[in-house]
Amino acid sequence: MQPQILFVDDEAALSEMLGLYFNHKGYVVTTASTIELAISKLQERAFNLVILDLNLAGQDGLEVLRFVKAHFPKLPVIIFTGLDVDENLVKRCLADRADGFMRKTDGLEKLFNEVRRHLPE
């Protein structure tokens, strides 16, 4: 069975590109562009991993992280952000139990390696 990834980001082009990239690598990707849509999808079906942007059209993506950890505590969440990263932001994510932290500028291969770290074959 192919691993199921929920990718939460409000950038449509990036969501489409990551979906194609991970589909090619053998993963099934579902996208959500808002907090409400992400929570709805999480309630509808099971996922193996969440990749989460922190800035969702002005909404705080950490709300999704908190929801996941409250309802699906073993579901890994990788923060994938384009925000300027400072020590306080990383600490907030880790305090809310994020499993990984990536910058969008880190590239697809690094993101893929982080996903594989949480979803071994």
pTM here is 0.91
pLDDT(117) > 70? yes
> Can you give the residue range of the structural domain that contains 42?
4-116
Asked if the structure places residue 38 within a domain, the reply is yes
Q: State the pLDDT at residue 54.
A: 87
pLDDT(73) > 70? yes
The more confidently predicted of residues 4 and 59 is: 4
Q: Which residues pair with 30 in a beta bridge?
A: 6
**Structural domains counted in the chain:** 1
Q: State the pLDDT at residue 83.
A: 60
- Kindly report the number of other CB atoms within 10 A of residue 75's CB atom: 17
Tens digit of pLDDT for each residue in 81-114?
876 667 777 787 777 789 988 888 888 999 999 9
Q: State the pLDDT at residue 84.
A: 65
Q: What is the mean pLDDT of the chain?
A: 90
Tens digit of pLDDT for each residue in 22-34?
999 999 999 999 9
CATH number at residue 41: 3.40.50.2300
Asked if the structure places residue 66 within a domain, the reply is yes
Asked if the structure places residue 121 within a domain, the reply is no
Q: State the pLDDT at residue 118.
A: 94
Helices and strands in the chain: count of H runs, count of E runs: 5, 7
Q: Nearest CA to 55 among 96, 77, 84?
A: 84
Asked if the structure places residue 88 within a domain, the reply is yes
Distances, alpha carbon 8 to alpha carbons 35, 42, 59, 87, 90, in Å: 8, 11, 12, 23, 18
